[in-house]
Structure 1
Amino acid sequence: MGDNRPHHRITQEQLDAVVKRHEMFRNARMGGARAILTNFDLTGLDLGGRDLAHADLTGSVLRRANLAGANLDCCTLFAADIREANLTGASLVKADLRGASLRGADLTGANLVSADLRDGSLAERASDGSLRIVVVESDASPADMQGARLANANLSQAKLSGAVAMHTDFTDAVMRGTKLVRANLRNATLDGAILEGADMSGADVRGASLKGAVLTGAVLVLTELGGADMDGALTDKPAGRPLADLPRPLEEMVKLHADWVGSAGQAGMALDLKGYDLRGATCLSHACLTRLHAPGAILYGVDLSAAQMQVGNLAGADLRGANLAGCDLRGINLTDAQLGNADLSGANLGYLRIDDTRIVRAELAGARLRYARLTGARLVKVNFAGADLSFANLSQADLKGADMTGARLAGARLRREQLAEVEGLKLP
């Protein structure tokens, strides 16, 4: 860290005793005491899964420590040395990380909601070529930065004003309401990042990649965006054809579609929403949308709960964060659709039987379902070939006969017996 503060070295056994008393304190049990570990040397020690919320670790050395899954909410880590530590899945809600060094630390999937990361610098590409994020002390030079991984981290409401985040990878990070005033994000990767309501006033985002990022409600006053790749980014402007271009009010068209479905095409009219930006639509929940034609539609964050969408065509649609809980999606086409963080809990994505020899199965080949909720969903015979189900919650989902050829399941929540029921996966 480059300072002369004395650090008190303790053993794993001594640390376990301190943490045990802290956990007793957290549970209001007799004999408990808050952990005060200021200026302690905890290099390489194991705190994985432990509860250290509200502990004071000011100035402590946690290099190469295991903090995976630890609860560090409201923890004081001011000026702490956390280089090369394992913080995967850790919770750091409202943690004070001002001036802390996170070089080489792994924060994959960490929760940093409302964390304070000011007064440091986030940056640079590591020597192995990977994109990482760092908080470095003021005398560090960009040449020797060894950053921390922050893939898919939640940085909502975090304070990053003035931070230097050049070449940093924020892919798919959730950054709702994040303070990025005057932040240096040159050449950063923000693909798919959720930046709703983020304050990027005066930020330097030149050369950054914002492909598919969500910038609705973001403050972009004096933001420098020269050379930034905004392909597929969602802003406050319609990303497709606006609702105002519909020939009739959407609610009326939904009713006419229900008549069309109920009369087998003899009355009403089919609903064609191809390429429309449907953000803000409020009449689709519980609606009859069977055979809906909406490839490429923007349905980001839309409430579609309990809708009937059998055999619908939503190929390539943007359904990130959408509510599809309890939907009837049998035989639907969601090829290459974006479903990150969508709620599909209890949805039926099984197949429809046409006759004794033919079925129509749900098509999700190439779909992106990172962090999607599929708890209790019926996924019988679904085609997930090449789909990205990383960190998706598949607990209690019925996966019998599903095709997972080439699918990505890193961090997904499911049981081994579920995997044994699917096709295309080789179990170790």
Structure 2
Amino acid sequence: MSQDQLNAMVDLHGRFLSGRLGGRRAVLQNVDISALSLAHKDLRQVDFSNCSMLCMDLSSVNFQEARLYACDLSDSNLAKANFFRADLRGSRIEFANLKDANLDKADLRLGGINMGQGTSQQTSQHVNFRGANLSGAKLTGALASSADFTDALMNNINIMGADLRDAQLDGADLSGAQVTGANLHGAKLRDTILTGVDLSSFGQLDADLSEAITDANIGSSLQDLDEPLEQMIETHRLWVDTAGKEGRQLNLSGYDLRSLKELKKQKLTAIKAIKARFLGLNLYKVEMQSSILDNSDFRRCDMESADFRGSSFKGARFSHANLKNADFNPLLFGSGTNETTKRFNPCDFEGASLAYADLSGCNLRSANFKNANVAYANFLGADLRGADFSGAKIDNTNFDGANMDEAVMEIDRKSIFKLSALKDDEQ
């Protein structure tokens, strides 16, 4: 369907809503309208069941009481869209922008998809919000049992009275969420961020919080340091400049660093910060070469053009982080002709999660991504020569324009260039 054809249908639907002659309710079923625009349109009560609606501009659209059963809205812009009482059962809304969207009393339960024309065979699936941006969205009273919100941005969301029983919320950011009366019975909450949330206000929270991040376990406060951080940084720089003869290495392991707001352009070479919380920090052009940052949390951080050469990030989390043009190349230690004294130190991301992170233009030669999660990560134009992706989770990962000479992959490389294929098909 073309944009002109879609516009004509919307015009007829507008006449239907206003009761004017010749109006007709918009009904589209099993149709592909991907990459088209319905921004700011009044589409109350439309029926777009089982439509492919990927990469669309649906910002500020009014889908009140619409039937969007089993639709695929992935990668679409749904900012400020209205889904009040909409039927979104079985829909897929992965990596979409739903910032400030209204899903009040929307139906987000399990739904079925017809497997083929002329057959009654169906398959059921849960609503998929994996990696979506739901910041500030309203889901009051929404029916979202068993919905998948893995790695979704849900900060300042309103889920008051929502049914989220058995929902998958691993890695989701619900910081500052309004949760009064919400039911999270049986929900999965591994690495879920629940800071700034009144846990006592949940309607039901019969879920395992042992691996969630709350105000109680976020980490040690910087106020607990033995001396001011600025002074410790100066002592650390002296330690670096004198090759350890003077000063002391900066160790921020286990600390909650969010109160710093930013460390941009700071020189922090060779620091140690295991299991530190950098959540949302501005690390623009920071220098952390040869640092040990294993199991630290960099979700939503701005790390553009930073220098992390030779550093270790084993088990670290980078979901939704901006790493554009950062330098993760190896460091070579030692000099002269004696090869036995030289040490080649590439960056280590083994077991790390870089889902939905932007690594476009990064230097990542010989980086170790063994068993890492790089689903939906963007490596556009990155230097990945000699990188090792053995055992890595590669799903809808963008490697367009990346230099992958001698890179180790355990899957057919054609399957990871899905975004390029989609663009080629549209032309």
What TM-score, normalized by structure 2, do the two folds share? 0.84
Structure-1 residue corresponding to 2:356? 371
**Given the superposition, is the C-alpha separation of residues 417 and 222 from structure 1 closer, same or farther in structure 2, using an over 3 Å criterion?**
closer
Structure-1 residue corresponding to 2:98? 112
Instruction: In structure 2, give the amino acid aligned to 1:409.
Output: I
* CA distance in structure 2 between the aligned counterparts of 1:48 and 1:283, rounded to whole angstroms: 39
Q: Give SS of 1:353's match.
A: strand
After TM superposition, give the deviation of residue 56 of structure 1 in Å: 2.4
After TM superposition, give the deviation of residue 35 of structure 1 in Å: 7.3
Matched, 1:272 2:251: yes
Matched, 1:158 2:137: yes
**Between 173-182 and 299-308, the greater mean CA deviation after superposition:** 299-308
Structure-1 residue corresponding to 2:33? 47
1:390 to 362, 375, 388: 375
Structure-1 residue corresponding to 2:400? 415
Asked if 1 retains the 8 angstrom alpha-carbon contact of 2:380 and 2:398, the reply is yes
Structure-2 residue corresponding to 1:332? 311
Specify every segment of 5 or more residues in structure 2 that has no aligned partner in the other structure, as ranges.
Answer: 17-24, 114-122, 415-427
Asked if 1 retains the 8 angstrom alpha-carbon contact of 2:262 and 2:281, the reply is no
After TM superposition, give the deviation of residue 419 of structure 1 in Å: 3.9
* CA distance in structure 2 between the aligned counterparts of 1:368 and 1:106, rounded to whole angstroms: 22
* CA distance in structure 2 between the aligned counterparts of 1:375 and 1:306, rounded to whole angstroms: 15
Structure-2 residue corresponding to 1:132? none
After TM superposition, give the deviation of residue 194 of structure 1 in Å: 0.9
Asked if 2 retains the 8 angstrom alpha-carbon contact of 1:329 and 1:348, the reply is yes
Matched, 1:36 2:10: no
Asked if 1 retains the 8 angstrom alpha-carbon contact of 2:89 and 2:109, the reply is no
Q: Percent same amino acid among aligned pairs?
A: 33
Structure-2 residue corresponding to 1:251? 230
Specify every segment of 5 or more residues in structure 1 that has no aligned partner in the other structure, as ranges.
Answer: 1-11, 24-32, 129-143
After TM superposition, give the deviation of residue 229 of structure 1 in Å: 1.5
Matched, 1:79 2:65: yes
Task: Encode CA deviations 1:99-150: one digit per residue, 9 max, x unaligned.
Answer: 22122222122222222222333335x689xxxxxxxxxxxxxxx9864322
1:190-205 map, 5 Å: 190-205=169-184
Structure-2 residue corresponding to 1:186? 165
**Given the superposition, is the C-alpha separation of residues 17 and 302 from structure 1 closer, same or farther in structure 2, using an over 3 Å criterion?**
closer
* CA distance in structure 2 between the aligned counterparts of 1:273 and 1:417, rounded to whole angstroms: 34
Instruction: In structure 2, give the amino acid aligned to 1:307.
Output: V
Instruction: In structure 2, give the amino acid aligned to 1:190.
Output: L
Structure-2 residue corresponding to 1:311? 290
Instruction: In structure 2, give the amino acid aligned to 1:157.
Output: G
**Given the superposition, is the C-alpha separation of residues 22 and 310 from structure 1 closer, same or farther in structure 2, using an over 3 Å criterion?**
farther
Matched, 1:17 2:17: no
* CA distance in structure 1 between the aligned counterparts of 2:234 and 2:405, rounded to whole angstroms: 43
**Between 149-158 and 37-46, the greater mean CA deviation after superposition:** 37-46
Structure-2 residue corresponding to 1:59? 45
After TM superposition, give the deviation of residue 373 of structure 1 in Å: 1.7
After TM superposition, give the deviation of residue 329 of structure 1 in Å: 0.9
* CA distance in structure 1 between the aligned counterparts of 2:75 and 2:303, rounded to whole angstroms: 26
In angstroms, what is the RMSD of aligned CA positions?
A: 2.6
* CA distance in structure 2 between the aligned counterparts of 1:218 and 1:37, rounded to whole angstroms: 45
Structure-2 residue corresponding to 1:236? 215
What TM-score, normalized by structure 1, do the two folds share? 0.84
Q: Give SS of 1:296's match.
A: coil
Matched, 1:427 2:427: no
Matched, 1:170 2:155: no
After TM superposition, give the deviation of residue 221 of structure 1 in Å: 5.5
Asked if 2 retains the 8 angstrom alpha-carbon contact of 1:37 and 1:57, the reply is no
* CA distance in structure 2 between the aligned counterparts of 1:127 and 1:389, rounded to whole angstroms: 29
Matched, 1:358 2:343: yes
Instruction: In structure 2, give the amino acid aligned to 1:344.
Output: L
After TM superposition, give the deviation of residue 225 of structure 1 in Å: 4.9
Instruction: In structure 2, give the amino acid aligned to 1:253.
Output: M
Task: Encode CA deviations 1:190-221: one digit per residue, 9 max, x unaligned.
Answer: 11111122111122223322221112223546
Structure-2 residue corresponding to 1:401? 386
* CA distance in structure 2 between the aligned counterparts of 1:194 and 1:216, rounded to whole angstroms: 9
1:196-215 map, 5 Å: 196-215=175-194
* CA distance in structure 1 between the aligned counterparts of 2:251 and 2:189, rounded to whole angstroms: 29
Q: How many residues align?
A: 390
Q: Give SS of 2:255's match.
A: coil
Task: Encode CA deviations 1:162-194: one digit per residue, 9 max, x unaligned.
Answer: 122222221111112211111122222211111
* CA distance in structure 1 between the aligned counterparts of 2:261 and 2:191, rounded to whole angstroms: 23
After TM superposition, give the deviation of residue 368 of structure 1 in Å: 0.4
Asked if 2 retains the 8 angstrom alpha-carbon contact of 1:257 and 1:288, the reply is no
After TM superposition, give the deviation of residue 287 of structure 1 in Å: 2.2
Task: Encode CA deviations 1:59-91: one digit per residue, 9 max, x unaligned.
Answer: 222112221111111112222221122212122
* CA distance in structure 2 between the aligned counterparts of 1:49 and 1:219, rounded to whole angstroms: 40
**Given the superposition, is the C-alpha separation of residues 86 and 323 from structure 1 closer, same or farther in structure 2, using an over 3 Å criterion?**
closer
After TM superposition, give the deviation of residue 239 of structure 1 in Å: 1.8
Structure-2 residue corresponding to 1:134? none
After TM superposition, give the deviation of residue 275 of structure 1 in Å: 1.7
Instruction: In structure 2, give the amino acid aligned to 1:152.
Output: G
Instruction: In structure 2, give the amino acid aligned to 1:260.
Output: W
